[in-house]
Amino acid sequence: MNNFILLLLNGLSVMNVTVDANERLSFFGRLYNMDTNPDVGIWYLIITLFVLMIIVYHLGFARKLKVWQHAVIYTVTFIGTLFLSFLGVFYPVGESLIIAAIILGIYRFRLHRERESGGLSLEEKRRQAKEQSKLAAKKVNEESK
């Protein structure tokens, strides 16, 4: 794995134009010195991406599950992180996860604030929408008679 990353970083030359490896790295790739120490840097990147993926999962998709179900989700997430870490060296995978976490955090904060201020819950909104659609259908049926 170390040789593969070093080959990608240092051995690229296209049409006799060499590219500086540091220019190609993503923010986290530069932060973890992937060009000089890829063995340690890739593990830092894997840990960072795993933590960000767990944060995004909990902000956007998590439900109350049993402990073993969470363990399965974390295991599959870690396996996915191993694949994404290779892309995260050169592409902004980590940065995208940060933006997703910020957007989902803002959404959750606004939802929490609306519920505390006495806003309707999701179930109440659905019930009201069903009642309104029934009234509209009833009105259309009466007008057609």
Q: How many domains does the chain have?
A: 1
In a domain, 80, yes or no: yes
Task: Name the residue among 20, 82, 75, 17 with its Cα closest to residue 47.
Answer: 82
In a domain, 74, yes or no: yes
Task: Name the residue among 44, 53, 103 with its Cα closest to residue 77.
Answer: 53
Give me the helices (H) in 21-66, please.
Answer: 21-24, 27-31, 38-60
pLDDT surpassing 90 at residue 143: no
In a domain, 50, yes or no: yes
In a domain, 73, yes or no: yes
Residue numbers of the domain that contains 60: 2-120
pLDDT surpassing 60 at residue 11: no
- Mean pLDDT over residues 110-120, rounded? 79
Q: What DSSP state is assigned to residue 25?
A: S
The pair of structure tokens assigned to 122 is 């999701």
pLDDT surpassing 70 at residue 102: yes
In a domain, 126, yes or no: no
In a domain, 67, yes or no: yes
In a domain, 132, yes or no: no
In a domain, 36, yes or no: yes
Mean confidence (pLDDT) of the chain: 82
